Amino acid sequence: MIEINPISVEEIWQFLEEVSDPEIPVLNVVEMGIVREVWFNDGGLIIRITPTYSGCPAMNAIENEIKKKLLEKGFEKASVVTDYKETWTTDWMTDHAKLKLKEYGIAPPEKTEDDSDFLTNLKGSQKIVPCPYCDSMKTHLQSEFGSTACKSQYYCDECEQPFEHFKCI
Ligand SMILES: [Zn+2]
């Protein structure tokens, strides 16, 4: 006898979309690319996640938030497996997530393979990050670290506003 699970894996993915990233509340853990795989195992549920920046203290919070959400949905036997075999990259973030990040006032990461000369100014390795508010290229780096290690602090010389850049890895 095969026991048919009344809830599909697709529905679990939808539940997970309700779990927001603790650092960037406008983004959820699915569009961040943190949730890698979901499957049922002996009536339990397993969620495989890959941590973002190793320096980010948010990973335990994400694990707990996922478990809390699934418990809310009636899954007592959900386990979250943190997988360090893969390395999270900002390329895993969906384009929609990057757009939301920009609307939130954080300059989104570029595609890592697009690290072209265009973005590197003549002084050397410093990248030009367009302002998320006015799209001006007249910005400068203020600090390598913003509110967290995953972000750097920039300033826009055009609209005279500070903003954060989500570093790309
Ligand atoms: Zn600006």
> Mean pLDDT of successive 10-residue segments in the chain (169 residues)?
71 95 88 94 89 67 92 90 87 92 91 52 64 95 82 95 87
Of 18, 35, 36, the residue nearest 27 (C-alpha): 18
Query: Which domains are seen in the chain, by residue range?
Result: 9-88 (3.30.300.130), 106-166 (no CATH)
CA 99 to centroid of ligand 1, rounded, Å:
16
CA 120 to centroid of ligand 1, rounded, Å:
19
CA 110 to centroid of ligand 1, rounded, Å:
18
Cα pseudo-dihedral 150, 124, 87, 154, rounded to 10: 20
Q: What is the pLDDT of residue 123?
A: 43
CA 159 to centroid of ligand 1, rounded, Å:
4
Q: What is the pLDDT of residue 47?
A: 96
Contact by Cβ (8 Å): 28, 16: yes
Cβ count near 38 (within 10 Å):
20
Q: What is the pTM of this model?
A: 0.78
Of 17, 165, 8, the residue nearest 102 (C-alpha): 165
Q: What is the pLDDT of residue 120?
A: 47
